[in-house]
Each structure stands twice: as C-alpha cells, then as structure tokens.
Structure 1
C-alpha cells in the first residue's frame, strides 16, 4: 500500500483490540471500554463486505504494555480479510517492526517511540520506505504518548513539520478529545495539519457523518479512520461511498 495522493480519500474502519476482542474506548480511556465483538476477524470481514479496501488495527494492550500483544489476532484479521491493514500500538523496536510485518500487514503506525526518538523514526522510515506511518495523537494540540496516558510539551504541528521530508507513508492525526465521543471531528485542526505538510494526512477521532468526510476530503485530507460511529450504526460505509461518489 503506497502513499495516497491528497486528492484521493481512503476510508479506514478501525478495529481496536484489547484482550483479543474488538473494543472502543472513549478519549483513549481504558476505563471507558465498550466491547463490540469477540471475533475481530469476523468484524474485519463485515467491513470488507461493505466495501472497505483498507483497515486500521490498533493493539491497545500493546500500546499500554510497550510491546505487541495481540499479534495472533492481527494475523487472523489480515488473513481473513485479504485487504491491506495498517497496524499501530506497542511497536517500539526494530524487532517489533519485523515481527509485525511478518504478520502480513501493509503499514505500521509508529507513535510513542517515534516521538521519543525521532532519529530512530527516520532510520525506520529509511529502512522501510513508504511503509511507516507517523501516528500523532494530540490533546489540545500537544502530543500524547504511551496509549494516550501521557501528554508531552511538544506540539503535533511541530513534530509533523520536522518529519515531513522523510520517506514516510503518511501521518495519522488523532484528536483525543473527539475520539470515541461521537461529537464530530476537529475539522480545523485536521485541515491545519494537512496544510502544514506534504505527507498525506489521515484524520482520526470523532467522525460521525458522511458530510464530515466530504469536507475533510475537500480540505486536503487523504483519508479518515472511522470507529465508534460504524459500530453504533450512526454511519454506514455505503453512505460514505455514496457521499464521496465512489462505486464499490
């Protein structure tokens, strides 16, 4: 899966994994968990049946533990769906990267280690050109790390600009305040990020309606990640395709 031009829009249904199950958190809070499925692979197949051609997988246990935890489940999703999957959560060493790519995933999202050690991120991007995504999770514009448990003093825009010339596949920009809250995305912040860098930017957090996705596309976003809104049927993938004028 290559970098996506800014005039195209990819839709990533999210499958967040905790304890081998498909869950959603509110604002990244592990104490505010909703379980949606005991069979994440079947959930992935459901989204593919609705026309999804990419998936976004998050190892929530891994993000908290600092190393991959749900690898077997991720591999099962990759095999069951047959579509490119990007995976994040707990991937913090070169060995973690190798292990995760061996599962058959297309791209890896690096957050905590990348933000703590930008030189390492650059080296991994050079080693795996076009296959590493920078995950920028922000609270009030400031980067959060370690499963969103800690907020740094660095701004997301500053870090994005620093990495913009590296051979990354793109940036996933998540507004934690909106994530899982069904309150709509922070369109201004997402558009500001997309305008600040040449890399494709994928918006995450708060997507609840097709018209929001259309506006984000029109403001330069390369893709969106949709989570709780899909699981609670506030929005369906056929509605998204219709709004974007996509034939599946």
Structure 2
C-alpha cells in the first residue's frame, strides 16, 4: 500500500479543509514546496497534490508550485483540482506530475474521461468524492444523485491508473476512515483503490492494509502530529507501495 502525504494548496499556502468546507480552513505552511521537502525527509515515496483554488474555479491555479514541488523532491506526484480539459492535462504533465486526478469532469462527461484514459493510459486517476455514498463535485460544493460505487464500476474497464475514494464526512475530521466502503469498493471494482479521508491512527492504517488497497492518502493527522510518517511507513511490508511508474 503506497502512502501519499497530501499537500493541499490554496492561495499559495499549504492548507487543510474540514469536510471539504472552504470556510473551515487551517493553514499549515506558507510554502507548499518546503512542506514537500519535509515529507521527503521523513521517507515519502510519492505525494498527492490538490489545487483547491483550481477545484473551485474550474481551472488549475497552482501550476508554478506543482512544478517546483516535483523539481525539489524528485518524487512521483499525482495532482487533482480544476483539471477539466485535455489542455489542462497536458499542462499538468508538462509540470512533471505522473498522474492526473479527474473528478468533476468525470461525472459531467464520462465519455471524455474514457477518451483521456485511452489517450493517456495508466495516467488518469478517477477521483470519487462521496457524501452519504453519493458523488460530490466542484470542490465538494455539489452533491449528485450518482452512487460512488456505481460510478466506479462504470469506469472499471477503462485504462485508468487508480481510483481515489474520499468520504467527505471523514475528511479532515480525524475520526477514522470509512473502512467498510473502501473494502467494498476494493472487492467489487477491478482497479487499484486509494483511500483518502479520516486516517488518524496507526490502527487505521492497519485496518486499511487488510482491505487490499493500492494506496492511502494522509493529510491532517500528519500535519497535526497525530501520526508520524516514519511510523506509518514502518507498517508497510517491503517493497513499500505499488509505485507510480
């Protein structure tokens, strides 16, 4: 299981939101690049980057920071937030990221995502953000009537790199992940599943390891010291993770 520290960017700073609420923001660092270097020193093998301004505005807003993080760390990175066109995908790839996370556009136009997955095989990640099992879009500001599991199944036979599943009710709350939903998705969807949201303790990580997941994104608990990255990585059998080649 690949452990990915999350670096969420808003206004050029490293922040975290509670349950995706832009009004409940905590700033953890003035420089996302410096934060990325901290995770490298603690043993990170990959990073999960989120452009929160991009997600809200519908277009990438932190390209320069993304480019600098990739250059400074040398780690494979995946990026989500505001990527809605093929030009956006090409731009992000030119910044050096390995994977592109698509969320809102995926729900609006699945056929386009299939085309992008075919054009960029094993590069596109489906970002499924759910509230009460329903998919949320536009930076979590809108909730649809589509089931997250049904949508994951719809995309399952396409050449996607993975699915990142986030339970918004758990995200940033440090109350544990939605293990049951993650286990069900891993069992019923033939794509690598990456957990996101709520991971707070080493026991949470151990429970996720039992779900046969491809990866786990960790945010607030790392920033607030509830978890130490080195301790998390010590739980992962070598070789750690699935890689992001």
Match of 1:181 in 2: 173
Aligned residues: 240
1:247 Cα deviation after fit: 7.9
Instruction: State the distance in 1 between where 2:237 and 2:111 align.
Output: 41
Match of 2:59 in 1: 67
| 2:212 equivalent to 1:220 | yes
1:217 Cα deviation after fit: 1.7
Match of 2:187 in 1: 195
Q: What TM-score, normalized to structure 2?
A: 0.96
Match of 1:51 in 2: 43
Alpha-carbon displacement from aligned partner over 1:144-171 (angstroms, at most 9, x marks no partner): 0000000000000000001000000010
Greater CA drift, 206-215 or 224-233: 206-215
Superposed counterparts of 1:31-50, under 5 Å? 31-50=23-42
Equivalent of 2:82 in 71, 85, 90: 90
Q: For the Cα contact (< 8 Å) 1:17–1:23, is it kept in 2?
A: yes
Structure 1 gap segments, 5+ residues each:
1-8
Name the SS of the counterpart of 2:89 in structure 1.
helix
Match of 2:142 in 1: 150
Q: For the Cα contact (< 8 Å) 1:23–1:33, is it kept in 2?
A: yes
Greater CA drift, 57-66 or 236-245: 236-245
For the aligned residue pairs, the C-alpha RMSD in angstroms reads 1.0
Alpha-carbon displacement from aligned partner over 1:165-189 (angstroms, at most 9, x marks no partner): 0000010000000000011101101
Q: For the Cα contact (< 8 Å) 1:211–1:243, is it kept in 2?
A: no
| 2:96 equivalent to 1:109 | no
Match of 1:3 in 2: none
Name the SS of the counterpart of 1:33 in structure 2.
strand
Q: Classify 1:247/1:117 alpha carbon distance in 2 versus 1 (closer, same or farther; 3 Å).
A: closer
Instruction: State the distance in 2 between where 1:174 and 1:247 align.
Output: 25
Alpha-carbon displacement from aligned partner over 1:21-67 (angstroms, at most 9, x marks no partner): 00000000000000000111110011011110100000000000000
Q: For the Cα contact (< 8 Å) 1:142–1:156, is it kept in 2?
A: yes
Instruction: State the distance in 2 between where 1:139 and 1:241 align.
Output: 29
